[in-house]
Structure 1
């Protein structure tokens, strides 16, 4: 089938590459001409393991192309996916500017009956409003379908090819059947719903996972107070099939482009529906507090950080991505910088040229450069090479081997044995081996 994808960010590019890989002919559209030129050469604008090899493979097999022209991109398309950004402001208002502009451009470019698929995360009711726009502007029949994405950055390709479900929301049975045919090679269960239900599933799913994260982080904070071990608690909880073990890893809160945006977005949807949502409000506030917990622990230990060298290990909001949107590292570095700390940061992917980083942060090329003569180190992102550090290296390189681990990467007993002053999240009690009997 001939498919066009509007937008070449995480969602659009991964979706386009995946649909090409399963046999469709895909044209990705983006107004950024420089990005299009790079994509034609197989250079991805996002860091996602495996994406560039698949881009090159499908270009060479003539199933994948890129263009900055809406008219060219939509010319032969049977189905057009809208996968442009819908950012959320600090007030939770969902900004539909880019989405609406792209929708209008596609409406003008359509030259035969087409299915338009909403891949962007949008407020409930967007399907209906987009259908109205298409009825007014498009010269041919358009059927609008909701098909929310559930891609995790760093694991997006795996989630696309091995996902739990594909959600299709529409009131038109023929459109649902077309979407089922498109996605059938993935061999993933399809859930067909009304358009409004599909729109809400994405927000509800991310808000629930964010709630689970905030809950386990609060339990971790309680563990620190009562002397329990959050890893033992999480393990015991996760064995209950009703709870499950995923998203029960305590740490310094969630970040990235989805959870912060979608929790605020869902809160705004509830507000516009004249409904209070205090549980979700507390999830958001809990996460905001948790992102600064390492700073709190550090200040309790050092009293002041003014003039002290602080090593930050990990900048991206999670491993296997270069995304720093809402990353805890930014808030941590900002807080420490305001208090006069000299910050040396290391990340294997996020480099010093990133415009999102504070200007006064020294981003270095190696872990050793960050730790060299540091007064304290904060573990912020659990990259494999950071997790591979040994206690003796902290002691060898640092001025004072003081480590605050926001991701519970290291063995407290080993740190103690080598006289590294080590604090983690929620592991205040006696360490024990977890044995399932």
Structure 2
């Protein structure tokens, strides 16, 4: 427990807000999380976690059990008597790539009247450069400080990423306010980088942009491997063993997605554009990602001997729907984007994902409308003309390939967009195989 209890308020209980509040409570701080959705607040206070995130349910309920974490309705209720208030609200993207700051501005206006003197307001949401000043403008409080403390959480490993981070970045024009936020992380052994707000905000976008670039790079290399007859697995081993490069994020697949990379990469281009710089490299990263999805569609069409624009009557068995394993997030999922194109071309899609077996949320229902969902993985093979591995759920690799072949029919091709299966094992079962960067 910290020597002096610091009271924290968290506005928003999405992926970032809920993880932030729960982890700080786990670290010994008193945390009140506020949300505008009464149903969500009630569920959380009853111990029900609305998202799939490894370890989150346990630390939420442990912290609630000892009275260090509670959930309330509204931003003002969360910010009342708080020493530090974290803004963890959505910053959706406009058509031009710019971030919509209306939610964070609204939250700042709401909490401004009830903040106690000396309080620190922290931008935890991913926000464009200059947002610290924008929040200060909305607060109109000379006795309150605004700090940037960007999150670097990966869905599926968010709790571990928060409690065992590579670094903590804090940006503030006031050193005392920055150090006050830094004290919250005293129990964590990690570098604390204190800088100015603009640099902190840029670090977040630049980090995600670089990771997106690594994925686009390896996908482009995979395409080259297919062209020249090389094995992308061997190539990745070769380049990833170089300590200057490293093997992380060098896994070929159907393209990057999720709530961060697509939004942040486009925002990075937009921010640069607004300040007079043509970030052509980042534009290329985005283009390669779009092209990669097109290459995956071409693989499906090739597997059934059709043109990608005419898949009428073709049944596609889809393994996985989320943008990656370990999460139930369908936002900007490569699987969903590719499936949408396949369905527009006339294909019927039968899919299984571990996160869609139970009762669907309204968002899931609308997103998955028109896709036939199965209760068991093996069921996607029934009568399938082609089977696609969209998401790298580990349990998929354990499926009985002989059963898959028996249910699908001899000659059905597995388009392995995650290189999850052993090509030899798939072919030995009597199925065709087409991976990414493999020959």
Fold equivalence (TM over 0.5): yes
1:218 to 216, 220, 224: 220
Q: Is the 8 A contact 2:105 2:134 kept in 1?
A: no
The one of 199, 202, 206 equivalent to 1:200 is: 202
| Partner-residue secondary structure (3-state), 2:180 | helix
CA distance in 1, matches of 2:240, 2:390: 24
Identify which of 79, 85, 97 aligns with 1:92: 97
Equivalent of 2:31 in 26, 29, 35: 26
Aligned to 1:380: 390
Identify if the C-alpha distance between structure 1 residues 356 and 237 changes in structure 2 by more than 3 Å, giving closer, same or farther.
Answer: farther
How many residues of Structure 1 are paired with residues of Structure 2 in the alignment?
Answer: 425
* 2:265 pairs with one of 256, 263, 266: 263
Matches within 5 A, 1:15-414: 15-134=20-139, 136=140, 138=141, 141-304=143-306, 305-351=311-357, 353=360, 354-400=364-410, 401-414=412-425
**Contact 2:419/2:435, CA 8 A, preserved across alignment:** yes
Give the distance between the partners of 1:97 and 1:173, measured in 2 at CA.
28
Higher mean C-alpha deviation, range 258-267 or range 44-53 = 44-53
2:427 alignment counterpart = 416
In 2, the alpha carbon distance for the partners of 1:309 and 1:385 equals: 23
What SS does structure 2 have at the residue aligned with 1:344?
strand
SS of the residue 1:185 aligns to:
coil
Distance in 2 between residues matched to 1:260 and 1:96, nearest whole Å: 17
> Following the alignment from structure 1 to structure 2, what is the Cα–Cα distance between the partners of residues 77 and 33?
21
TM superposition shift of 1:427? 0.9
Question: Which residue, out of 411, 420, 426, partners 2:437?
Answer: 426
Of stretches 411-420 and 148-157 in structure 1, the one that deviates more from structure 2 is 411-420
Offset of 1:335 from its aligned partner?
A: 1.2
CA distance in 2, matches of 1:227, 1:390: 29
Alignment gaps of 5+ in structure 2: 1-5
- Structure 1, unmatched stretches of 5+, are 429-437
Task: Report the aligned-residue RMSD.
Answer: 1.3
Which deviates the most, 319-328 or 101-110?
Answer: 101-110
Residue 434 of structure 1 corresponds to: none
CA distance in 2: counterparts of 1:302 and 1:99, whole angstroms: 48
Q: Distance in 2 between matches of 1:116 and 1:357?
A: 35
> What secondary structure, in the 3-state scheme, does the structure 2 residue paired with 1:291 have?
helix
Contact 2:122 2:148 in 1 (8 A): yes
Taking structure 2 as the reference length, the TM-score comes to 0.94
